[in-house]
Structure 1
Amino acid sequence: MYGPVAAVRDLSLTVHRGEFLTILGPSGSGKTTTLMLLAGFEAPTKGDILIAGKSVAAVPSYRRDQGIVFQSYALFPHLTVRRNLEFPLEMRGIKAAERTARVNRILERVHLSDFCDRMPSQLSGGQQQRVALARALIADPPVLLLDEPLGALDRNLREQMQVEIKSLHKDFGITTVCVTHDQEEALTLSDRIVVMREGRIEQTDTPEALYDRPASRFVASFLGEANILENLGCDLELVSTQPPGTFSMIRPERICLLPGDKTKRADAGQRQSVTGTVDDMIYAGPLRKYRVRVGNNLLMVREHVASGQQIFRPGDEVRLEWLRSDIRFVAA
């Protein structure tokens, strides 16, 4: 609770041993508060928190023996890389010889053996992130908590660190809970994703299932881009009866963009098509993104750039086609 406001409500969640679970949501959805409850920095006003079947709701954070990586890395600025890694082992009373052996092993694993005597200020952002991960993992914690771990890195470094984190999780097999607002990061790293909204869980599933079969309009629009097929100015014959209280939806990459006078395909009976006018085209390296006005709506189309591909410009009349089986029904 923050005053009269409940930051997290009716939350029931099980994290499986060894899995990588990501909590995803917009600002104010309750994802960070959930992580703070797991870390012991916040106490629940109701309910319980169990780790390996034991209640830790009343256990302070410093006694939970968890690994935590913050967005700011939280490295000790006055200690070298080696000393940053030795510190949590000293606090656990591990002898010097074992400390040295563990530090050397993990420095090699995160490719920082040559940087062990540097101060954090002498490292790049990606190197600091590796030190933070190594420090969280070195004591073999039962749970690893990641709070927006890649938020301070540029795009290229984020992509590199996503690969590194995924590799580290595979090697160490530690149960990991990550909080992020970055959809690509969640899809890349996770075994399962929890999508939160206004303090509650909206949907929990694998990345593939969440993206392909979102349960609600919110999930469909938050996780990737979604075209809600309403106000098109024409009737669409759906592949099955649309459940009451739902919207029909299709992902932008499932739509094929064709010239307006293009002959219909041989499998036209399995497809739907509408005509529209290109409103905008955005070139994004490997992709072209189109906004096409159809009736009173703008539909997003995303296609991979290929040699010899026809490029449409604003004002062009086009036909949009998709397989009927690619339509999904989502709750309001």
Structure 2
Amino acid sequence: MSNALAFINQQPANGFASVAVNSSASIAGNEAKEKDVALAQIEFRNVTKNYGSVAAVKDLSLSVSRGEFLTILGPSGSGKTTTLMLLAGFQAPSQGDIFIAGKSVAAVPSYRRDQGIVFQSYALFPPLNVRRNLEFPLEMRGMKAAERTARVDRILSRVHLSGLEDRMPSQLSGGQQQRVALARALIADPPILLLDEPLGALDRNLREQMQSEIKSLHKEFGITTVCVTHDQDEALTLSDRIVVMRAGAIEQTDTPEAIYDRPATQFVAKFLGEANILENPGFMIESEATQPSDTIAMIRPERICVAALDAPKRVDADLRQSVIGIVENMIYAGPLRKYHVRVGSTLLVAREHVVSGRPALQPGEEVRLEWLRSDVRFVAA
């Protein structure tokens, strides 16, 4: 029995996520095939997708390891959703090929790909109640009625929806619809999950809770997952690896920590988080590394320390660069304060945690900005 199906047969526990299911025969043809983790390996080989004269995806080569959680991140028009639709089988590549478990699927229709899919709209069947939504993928796999009923009851308890099995999707809240979609995906036990902006319709608190649950479930099941989002926090929280796309091509691929701390280009630095781009800043940039040609210095706002001019210097002051500026604006954001500080002709953004008893610096106040020279990064323009 596979990990996910075995999990459903266990006693209920806390947690839920959100995925819908392609509910038909798998690539191998039936549920009896062994779902070895090797079946979840994905590879794009020089894939291009044209819409008329416009290339939405350009010569894309990308592999996804077994059990990996990969997030494709980018702005509107970057090609991220087209990439997911190609993998799902809703679009066919104009050039190149896509492989799953070493087999070409470029010509395989969506309904014959053994994949779970979650859409921002949940993709529940409006005419079917909760129980029938959950039974549908099991019926498509030929499961007997008694086993379907038992499995649905177990998974409803698992996602805390017992007693709601007769409700229609329109009678559920957004969070409840997410949990129904999760239950349907767990029942079908796909080796691959495709997530298309899965949390975009939820409020912030529920979205953060769902991020934690999806990460926990991915770790437990080990299902290869490809997620598309424009939400940087979501990408950083969920992913083993992030692909940043721009204008149909990959700008950078790396782990969340590496891609945030060591962005390769100015675009990545500014898109994934906030960045101070120090191009002709009006003061000399001090760094432990030699600046490569054709690059621009960059530093993250949280790496900059803000202090009053008369504040004592830090014990590691000899490792830091220090400049004097004037506060133009202070933004309070709960646990954080964000300062906009003018240093000559350059406006720098600094972000610090609010500390009890430490008053905020006010607009017009002259301050000292300090940062470790080792925190300066150089990015391609």
Q: Same fold (TM over 0.5)?
A: yes
Q: What's the counterpart of residue 359 of structure 2?
A: 310
Q: What's the counterpart of residue 68 of structure 1?
A: 117
Name the amino acid aligned to 2:98.
I
> Aligned partners of 2:134, 2:324: CA distance in 1, in Å?
61
1:215 aligns with 2:264: yes
1:173-222: CA deviation from partner (whole Å, max 9, x where unpaired): 21111100000011111111111000001111111111111111111110
| Displacement of 1:270 | 0.5
> Aligned partners of 2:106, 2:196: CA distance in 1, in Å?
19
Match of 1:93 among 131, 138, 142: 142
Name the amino acid aligned to 2:311.
K
Q: What's the counterpart of residue 81 of structure 2?
A: 32
Aligned ranges for residues 245-256 of structure 1 at < 5 Å? 245-256=294-305
1:119 aligns with 2:179: no
Aligned ranges for residues 171-250 of structure 1 at < 5 Å? 171-250=220-299
| Stretch deviating more after TM superposition (287-296 or 32-41) | 287-296
Q: What's the counterpart of residue 135 of structure 1?
A: 184
1:263-304: CA deviation from partner (whole Å, max 9, x where unpaired): 433432200011111111111111111111112221111111
Q: CA RMSD in A?
A: 1.3
> Aligned partners of 1:162, 1:82: CA distance in 2, in Å?
25
| Displacement of 1:314 | 1.0
Decide which structure has greater strand share. Answer: 2
> Aligned partners of 1:42, 1:14: CA distance in 2, in Å?
19
Q: What's the counterpart of residue 278 of structure 1?
A: 327
1:41 aligns with 2:96: no
1:293 aligns with 2:342: yes
Name the amino acid aligned to 1:169.
H
> Aligned partners of 1:209, 1:271: CA distance in 2, in Å?
22
1:53 aligns with 2:99: no
Contact between 1:286 and 1:304, CA under 8 Å: does it hold in 2? yes
| Stretch deviating more after TM superposition (98-107 or 270-279) | 98-107
1:118-176: CA deviation from partner (whole Å, max 9, x where unpaired): 21112111111111122223211121111100111111111111122112212322111
1:157 aligns with 2:206: yes
> Aligned partners of 2:74, 2:103: CA distance in 1, in Å?
28
Q: What's the counterpart of residue 158 of structure 2?
A: 109
DSSP-derived class of the 2:163 partner: helix
> Aligned partners of 1:262, 1:32: CA distance in 2, in Å?
50
* Structure 2 alignment gaps of length 5 or more: 1-49
DSSP-derived class of the 1:12 partner: strand
> Aligned partners of 2:246, 2:268: CA distance in 1, in Å?
9
Q: What's the counterpart of residue 261 of structure 1?
A: 310
Q: TM-score, normalised by structure 2?
A: 0.85
> Aligned partners of 1:61, 1:293: CA distance in 2, in Å?
54
1:5 aligns with 2:54: yes
DSSP-derived class of the 1:7 partner: strand
Contact between 1:150 and 1:158, CA under 8 Å: does it hold in 2? yes
Name the amino acid aligned to 1:300.
V
> Aligned partners of 1:51, 1:105: CA distance in 2, in Å?
31
Q: TM-score, normalised by structure 1?
A: 0.97
> Aligned partners of 2:309, 2:285: CA distance in 1, in Å?
18
Name the amino acid aligned to 2:153.
N
Match of 1:323 among 361, 368, 372: 372
Q: What's the counterpart of residue 22 of structure 1?
A: 71
1:80 aligns with 2:129: yes
DSSP-derived class of the 1:10 partner: strand
> Aligned partners of 2:286, 2:116: CA distance in 1, in Å?
53
DSSP-derived class of the 1:177 partner: strand
Name the amino acid aligned to 1:177.
V
> Aligned partners of 1:142, 1:128: CA distance in 2, in Å?
22
Contact between 1:137 and 1:144, CA under 8 Å: does it hold in 2? no
DSSP-derived class of the 2:181 partner: helix
DSSP-derived class of the 2:55 partner: coil
> Aligned partners of 1:19, 1:238: CA distance in 2, in Å?
35
1:232-276: CA deviation from partner (whole Å, max 9, x where unpaired): 322222222101111111111111001123343343220001111
